[in-house]
Amino acid sequence: MQLKNIATYSSRTMKLLVVHYLFIISSCYVFNFSYGRNLNPNFRVKAVNLGGWLLTEGWIKPSLFDAIPNNDFLDGTGLQFKSVTVGKYLCAELGGGNIIVANRTAASGWETFKIWRINSTIFNFRVFNKEFVGVDGSGNVVAVENKPGFSETFEIVRNSDDPSRVRIKSTNGFFLQVKTEELVTADHSGGNGGWGDDDPSGSQNPCEHSANRDGTIEWGKTDDTIQQTVEVIEFLTARYAKNPSLYAVELINEPLAPEVTLDMVKKYYQAGYNAVRKHSSTAYVVMSNRLSSDPTELLTFASGLKGSVIDVHYYNLFSRIIDSSIFDNMSVQQNLEFVNTNRSAELNTVTQSNGPLTFVGEWVAEWQVRDATKEDYQMFAQAQLEVFGRATFGWAYWTLKNVNNHWSMEWMIKNGYIKL
Ligand SMILES: *[C@@H]1O[C@H](CO)[C@@H](O)[C@H](O)[C@H]1NC(C)=O
Ligand SMILES: *[C@@H]1O[C@H](CO)[C@@H](O)[C@H](O)[C@H]1NC(C)=O
Ligand SMILES: *[C@@H]1O[C@H](CO)[C@@H](O)[C@H](O)[C@H]1NC(C)=O
Ligand SMILES: *[C@@H]1O[C@H](CO)[C@@H](O)[C@H](O)[C@H]1NC(C)=O
């Protein structure tokens, strides 16, 4: 079969970010405070995110991935298969829950199979409606199972002369074949059990930086997913609670509305908060606003929780609330005005006198302006430092190191673009 590798979901267009492991840059006296710290900070955090460190993102350091065999077949890559016999694309009929056919002349959603990588040659294929491709009792190729098991596991055998030519081998030892445009078969599957892979906790948004496997959001859909995350938070807090350098714990990063509901997020934040408080009365508890939602929706809830902090992320590149294309043709001056006027106003609405503290947990001095000078960048960074410096908890840059210079705070400081 002829293969077309469409962009992986983990492309560079999705840069909103990650797990919050922060270096605190300017808070020397955090370390003197230790246990006696009270929950009214008299300084504001200036920090940097350790992007790409514990959770890799391809765009931050692409060379990390060079040595991986078949590195164009990583989790989440969408593949489209054209039958050499009939010259048409494989398709999950009706998007899934049905048979696999080979009667489409063009390929889009139903003809795209997202891979879950077991190893460099063994994969599961997930279809549009989220079922997995498998072989049924009659040896027909179908997409009906919600979890991948033995019958949903396939080997991709690439032609060494032309890696876009592939054969797909079922776990029964036989290859898939297109008998007719309406009938794709493999021989009856003999075995069971075993190599399936599972992703029990799910992700809170579709992006690679949330360790999402194929773009599906499952976190927060069941109490189970929440419970697992609470256990992780409790484990980490218990481990570091006595360490004087533990300053704050962020419960989760960027859950996406409306898939992750406000009710579930609040339920989780309450449970996560309690888990932190079991072990520490002084660690701040940081709660990420949901992406695509009203930035004030958590204020009443969080006001009742001592030492809580609301985390907002501001990029003049993308936004899930306003149309991101507004940034496309903005001039230097318009970018500065947007920071000074619009971001400033937005931050003001979240920063309320009796409410939780506020944290601009991600920002960067990068934009869409072409041919900007060093001075332009300096002004842009400075404007953001001033406005985000008004957040009552502080700010954190995205990110410490990055092959893209402006996304590397280390590079920006060393080269005089950012002065603290
Ligand atoms: C991939 O996994 C299969 C099944 O466990 C195994 O037979 C095969 O040797 C593995 N291939 C590589 C390259 O590790
Ligand atoms: C492809 O085959 C399925 C199953 O027979 C049929 O329902 C569908 O209409 C066909 N689609 C096209 C575009 O021929
Ligand atoms: C930005 O400018 C380009 C080139 O002038 C134009 O094609 C594009 O439509 C503009 N985008 C927006 C969002 O205005
Ligand atoms: C920014 O704020 C100004 C002043 O309130 C407003 O006129 C403008 O529409 C806002 N811009 C965007 C892109 O929201």
Q: How far apart are CA 190 and CA 340, in angstroms?
A: 66
> 400: which residues sit within 8 A by CB, 6+ positions away?
23, 48, 49, 50, 51, 53, 408, 409, 410
pLDDT number for residue 21: 53
**Residue 331 in contact with ligand 3 by CB distance below 6 A:** no
Q: Report whether 113 contacts 126 (CB < 8 A).
A: yes
The whole-number average pLDDT for the span 236-243 is 96
More confident residue, 96 or 197: 96
d(CA 213, CA 18): 15
319, 326, 327, 329: residue to mutate for ligand 3 pocket, most atoms within 8 A of CB: 329
Establish whether residue 329 lines the binding site of ligand 3, counting it when its CB lies within 6 angstroms of any ligand atom: yes
Please tell me the distance between residue 342's alpha carbon and the centre of ligand 4 in angstroms: 6
Q: Enter the tokens of residue 263.
A: 């009710």
pLDDT, residue 24, reads 57
Q: Does residue 182's CB lie within 6 angstroms of at least one atom of ligand 2?
A: yes
pLDDT at position 162: 84
Q: Please write the tens of the pLDDT for every residue from 19-53.
A: 345 555 544 333 333 344 566 677 899 999 998 88
Q: What is the pLDDT of residue 108?
A: 94
Name the residue with higher pLDDT: 370 or 36: 370
Other residues' Cβ atoms within 10 Å of the Cβ of residue 393: 23
Name the more confident of 122 and 216.
122
**pLDDT: which is higher, 159 or 280:** 280
Is pLDDT at 58 greater than 50 in this prediction?
Answer: yes
> What pLDDT shows up at residue 187?
53
pLDDT score of 367: 97
What pLDDT does residue 196 have?
28
Give pLDDT tens digits for 298-348. Answer: 999 999 999 999 999 999 998 777 788 899 999 999 999 999 999 999 999
What spacing in Å lies between the alpha carbon of 188 and ligand 2's midpoint? 24
For 35, the token pair is: 């246990």
Quick one: pLDDT band at residue 1, thresholds 50, 70, 90?
low
9: confidence class by pLDDT, cuts 50, 70, 90: very low
Q: Which of 88, 93, 110 to mutate to test the pocket of ligand 2 (most atoms within 8 A of CB)?
A: 93
Which of 165-174, 333-342, 356-365 is least confident? 165-174
Question: For 198-207, 216-225, 315-324, 378-387, which range has the lowest pLDDT when averaged over its residues?
Answer: 198-207
Which helix (H) or strand (E) segment holds residue 313: the answer is strand 308-313
Residue 310, strand partner residues: 287, 358
Of residues 4 and 172, more confidence is placed in 172
- In angstroms, the CA 327 to CA 274 distance is 40
| pLDDT (average), residues 88-99 | 96
Mean pLDDT of the chain: 87
